[in-house]
Copies of this chain bind each other. A is one copy, B any other.
Amino acid sequence: MTRLIDHADAPPEVRAVYDDIKARRGVPDVNNFWKALAIHPPTLARTWESLKEVMAPGALDPLTKEMLYLAASAASGCTYCIASHTAAAKAKGMTEAMHGELLAVIAMAAETNRLAEALRVPVDPAFE
């Protein structure tokens, strides 16, 4: 059983991260991912700092970033990540039609990825 560390049982440096996550996201508690990661406080803190920076609005809007995160997670087959980022993308505005098209794109990519590799297709000079 994966050990999940609740706020009440967490050392101060873990609580500080939990509190920042809760404040930024406006949620009453952090997800299991963070409670599991808390077994190694430096990795917890670094991962959260990176995530805040990477997912902040920039040249791409938050919904697009979330859908890219979901596409990458689905392509690597991480069940937990698919569940959490599907929920996050829906919370940021992904409709069922958008979800369906995203699924169609990643399935298409999986298919052509395998074909390109299985045929060892040489990269076109025009792509360079």
Residues of A within 8 A of B (CB): 1-2, 4, 31-33, 36-37, 39-40, 42-43, 46-47, 50-51, 53-55, 58-60, 64-65, 67-69, 71-87, 95-124, 126-128
Contact check, B127 vs A2: say whether CB atoms are below 8 A apart. no
Which residues of B have CB within 8 Å of A31? 124, 126
Complex Cα spacing A120 to B19, Å: 23
Within the assembled complex, what's the spacing in Å between the Cα atoms of A68 and B67? 7
Give chain A's interface secondary structure class. helix
Chain B: which residue is nearest A41 at the CB level? B100
A60 to B121, Cβ gap below 8 A?
no
A78 B77 Cβ-Cβ under 8 A: yes
CB atoms of B123 and A79 under 8 A apart: yes
- Taking a contact as CB atoms under 8 Å apart, the answer to whether A33 and B65 are in contact is no
Residues of B within 8 A of A84 (CB): 123-124, 127
